Amino acid sequence: MNDFTTGSVYIVLKEKLPCFIKRGVIAFLIIILSGYAGFVLAKDASEKRLHRPPNQTTRVPVHTIEVLNIFHHDSRAFTQGLIFYKDFLYESTGLYGKSAIFKKDVKTAKILKKIDLSPRYFGEGMAILERKIYLLTYRNERGFIYDVDTFRQIGHFKYSGEGWGLTTDGKHLIMSNGSSIITFHKPDSFSILHRVRVHDGDRTIDGLNELEYIKDEIWANIFTKNIVARISPETGTILGWIDMTPLIDYLDPGHKIDVLNGIAYDKRNDRIFVTGKFWPMIFEIRLSSKQ
């Protein structure tokens, strides 16, 4: 609520109205203005969560999607990382005091294994490489390594700056930090091998979030937008865009949801899964032939 507006209304009422009705009218107007302000803020927040792709000029393909299957997803999960590994989904979640790693059955969403992070850590993206789970944290500049079978912590690693998304090409760990830069790391030391800056023509692309390595490409959620970037690992060039807007029609706007975030790839069966923070559904999708 704008202080200038309410202050101005109060001054007018103070000068023009008798004492016995001042308080009632002021209270009524404050309720009305507060309700309007709350409506506007809720609308703005909803539009941010359900952001439609902007009309930006690009010379690369822009794909739409088809939804093949819908699976239940825990709507309390603030999804940060999503992985399909050996027929199961692995998910990392964020927020202080609520961060965890899960192993889940895809069809039933049953939790098969879980480990909670210390309340001091905000969980972020993760990757699985050689039977090890690598997990980032948001601002602690510290990551953790777990045995994929037991979820027992077996190590940790350090990095500079924020941790956002993490994936692997089978040899390296590939990380985003919310900027336009993707870094490639050695799994044993997490030292940086090289960096690429993601760009679409002359335009750099910021807000790189959750990552997934799919068919020799890096797919990346773009923070607050319902689009996914297909990125060349060698050059950082945008190879194409994927418009995820059709998923909006499946979501209840009255439900507490947040941004699109979470991409998992079943390499053996060539299946792609996507979801979002607090989303009640996981979608199995494929790229449409229409562009």
Instruction: Report the CATH number at residue 267.
Output: 2.130.10.10
> Lowest mean pLDDT: which of 30-39, 68-77, 120-129, 135-144?
30-39
HEC sequence for 101-141: EEEECCCCCCEEEEEECCCCCCEEEEEEECCEEEEEECCCC
| 245 and 186 both lie in a single domain | yes
Average of pLDDT values for 256-271? 95
Residue 227 has what pLDDT?
Answer: 94
The encoded tokens of residue 51 equal: 């952001």
Whole-structure pTM value: 0.80
Domain range spanning residue 111?
56-287
Q: Is-contact 242 225, C-beta < 8 A?
A: no
Residue carrying structure tokens 């609308």: 43
Strands 153-158 and 142-147 come out as antiparallel
| 259 and 131 both lie in a single domain | yes
Q: Give residue-wise pLDDT tens across range 175-187.
A: 999 999 999 999 9
Instruction: Indicate the DSSP class of residue 276.
Output: E
| 42 and 107 both lie in a single domain | no
| 65 and 43 both lie in a single domain | no
| 202 and 90 both lie in a single domain | yes
Distance CA 226, CA 17 (A): 51
| 86 and 30 both lie in a single domain | no
| 81 and 136 both lie in a single domain | yes
| 40 and 73 both lie in a single domain | no
| 196 and 232 both lie in a single domain | yes
| 61 and 156 both lie in a single domain | yes
- b/e burial code for range 82-95 (CB count within 10 A of at least 16 → b): bbbbeeebbbbbbb
| 24 and 80 both lie in a single domain | no
Domains of the chain: total: 2
Q: Give residue-wise pLDDT tens across range 165-178.
A: 999 999 999 999 99
Q: What is the mean pLDDT of the chain?
A: 85
Q: Give residue-wise pLDDT tens across range 198-239.
A: 999 999 999 999 999 999 999 999 999 999 999 999 999 999
Edge-to-edge strands, sheet with 100-104: 79-85, 88-93, 100-104, 111-116
Is the model's pLDDT at 32 over the cut of 50?
no
| 42 and 181 both lie in a single domain | no
Q: Give residue-wise pLDDT tens across range 104-158.
A: 999 999 999 999 999 999 999 999 999 999 999 999 999 999 999 999 999 999 9
